[in-house]
Every structure is written in C-alpha cells, then in structure tokens.
A and B are shown apart, each in its own frame.
Chain A
C-alpha cells in the first residue's frame, strides 16, 4: 500500500522552498500516484533557461521502491533517452533508498543535467556525439532546450486558443494542458499522439 501520508508531506516540503530550488512536484491528475515534477535547467549548461517536466509514477511499495521517473520534456542528453525520456540514474534503480525523497531524486536528475556520464549512457547516439563532437552536442542540446523546454509567456487562455485553432476540441485541450502542467508543447504532443 502506497504511503499517501508520506507523499503528501513530500509535496508540501518540496513546494515550500520552490523559490529557492525551482523544483516542484504536483499531482498530475486527482491522485497522489501520478505526479509531475519540474526542474529548471542548470545554469552554464545547454539546458539553462529551460524548464524540464518529469513524469513520476509511484509504485505501491514506495518509499521502499524507487519512484518511476522519466522526462516528459524532450531532452538531448547522454543519460536520457531522446526517444522515451527514460533516465539512467543509479538512485532510480538499485541505489534507491527510502532515505531519499522525490525532491532529492529530482535534484540528482538536475545534477545529472550538469554532469553527464557518457560512459554509462542511456542514449548511445547522444553519448557518442558528446564524446566525439562536443560542440555539435552542445548546440543540439541547446536547440532542444529552446524548442521543447521553454514555456512561452502566453497565458492559459492564449495557449488554449492556439491549440483550438489547430483543430482540437476546447475541453480536451484544457484537460490536456492541465495534465501536463500548462506546457503547450507537451500538450500538443499528447494531443497529436492521442
């Protein structure tokens, strides 16, 4: 049985110092099993300026089993699948401990963005590029950040309008936008794949 009391406390704790860390976790729908995390791209990296959404699913045995996390925002990084968003990080696997929290896990992911480990890659193509042609890697990563990780300054209604103009029904657009935390790019992707 999932320890909802703990999850509740974690969300409160994490969102308390959101101004300081920039890291937040919120329910994706109306439950505490499917969550969405948000981390700012670290400064002085190709991810700077981006906001990265992380899909979080909590298994029943949480906190004894690790939270299942993957990038919802597309990202170009040796340890993150450019296709699926899967993350290669020890603490999300066998090095998980109940002493860790959703916030510390997100902090570790943020640290991974700063310090890729191309020798233990999740995405072999990106890792090869990182090792052999760092310049191209950095500019690709920056381009992906610009394209996928920057939420525009549009208000909710403007986003809705934009997506409705593309031909999606309004109630579905609002629901989808809500589910991805207001990110229009993610919403578009979801709507297209639905």
Chain B
C-alpha cells in the first residue's frame, strides 16, 4: 500500500545554517506516528517545512509526497487546499494559537467555509457539532465567545475542532499538551485518540514526552540534531532501543517496576547547528563512540523489517538484539 505521505531527504536551512539534514519519513493511512527528540532537533520544522509554513528565509529541499503527489514547492492555492483540508495541524501553546480578536465562531466557520461544501446555516450547525464533539459544553452560546474566555485545555479542544473542520486525513499535533496541566493533558490525549479511531485519521504526535508517545503511537521516530536516528514500533523502541541516543533517552526515564536505579543522564548538549561535528552528530556525547563515528554520518538503515537505525554500531546492536552475537 502506498503511504499517505512520504518525506524524502527533507532538508531545511535558515540563513545557511542547516537545521534539518535529510529526513526520511513515511506515514500510512490511519497510522499514529510519534516524533520525539529534544527541542531544536527538528521535529516541528519537519512538518512546518512539509506544509510550506516556514518563513521565506528558510531554504527547503527534498521531497514531500501526499498520495504520491509532490507538494513541496506546490503553488499557494494547492497548498491552501491541502493545509487544513488534507493535513491539519495543532500547536503547542493553545492560548496564543487562536486569534484574540475574533470569536470562536468566526475562526471555526472560516475553516468550514474553506474546506467543506456547505454554507449558511449548515456551517453554524457543523461548528456546533464540532464543539460538541471535542467536549465544549453549551456550544451555541460558546461559539460567540472569544479565545481569552476559555481555559488552556478548552482552547486546545477548540483547536482540535478547527483541525477536524476540514476532515483531514492526517493531523499533526505539535506538542499538543506541553502547555497544559497533567490532568488536562490526559484528557486532550484521550480526545485525540478517540477522534483518530472514529475518523480513521492518521496522526503525527510531536512530543518530547516519551510517555505520551508510548501510550498514543504505533510507531516512533527519534530525532537528533536534524536527523532521524531511530525508527521502530513503539513497544520495540521502548523495550530495546538500539541507537545510543534512544538508549540514553529511555535510560533517563524512571522505571515503573523493578528495583530502584539511578537515572542516567546523557552527558553534554546538542551541538550547535552552525557548527555540526563531522560524522555522527551524536558522537561527541556517545559513550560507545569509536574513531570511525567522527568521519562519516551514518544513514538511516534498516536493521529489521520494521526498524531502522542511523548508527555504525547498528549491525552489532542488531546482533545483540537478536541474541546471535555470541554465536
């Protein structure tokens, strides 16, 4: 089956400084992909670039195909139909993501008018239905309210309603719960996965919270310094991370069961995009780095049917994983 969206060798540079350095990613219909990594690793930039939402000073290259049709550099009118219609996006800080001087009705109906073949009273009825769907009570009255009259969790629900307005095939949720209280976080994630199941929508969940991703995604891609370093089904990644960075991320999580152990932090910091080391970007922080790591950056290579890793030690890791190293 052809993927819904496939990204090939996507690169982005701001003022000559590369921030995304060749990302390959594919997503099938109805699939939930988690994208994890530290801030600045390029998680959001990947999707902003794919949808043409980066400022003009960004140099974008590579390929983004939606249903096999190239959309990178597509004409504005075509991109406007895709954005919100095929691929919708919700953002981290709901409080500033809605226009403060427009009512919820105006903002919600704008999306409906753009992407649905309905008009007049039907638009308003649909707006009410969407607010009901995302759990905003008293929809008729609340439609006339302004964003500042809602709580952060409610605004994120409204953002979700707006994203659903165009019946998208793919929802990019960019840190949708980072700015919210823990209890509200759980509600929003629950809402997202319910809606996804009911509408058969694919979702990319961008997060630096591994727990959030583990619970809500089928597959996870780990990003580091503008590249994907490991990609695997969620349960396998958390059970057996292969890339030393993924191992480090998961090692930094407290275990729920088993004996208490010291949490391990990854030493050092993410390299400055303006002065990336030669070779593997993670090598300077990697406990397992060897001389060859500093020479050439490893590409993302499959180590099993549904797993890929960008590490020259991947072969060894794979053997270790399969328990055949000793033989």
Q: Do A and B bind each other?
A: no
B-side interface residues toward A, CB under 8 Å?
none
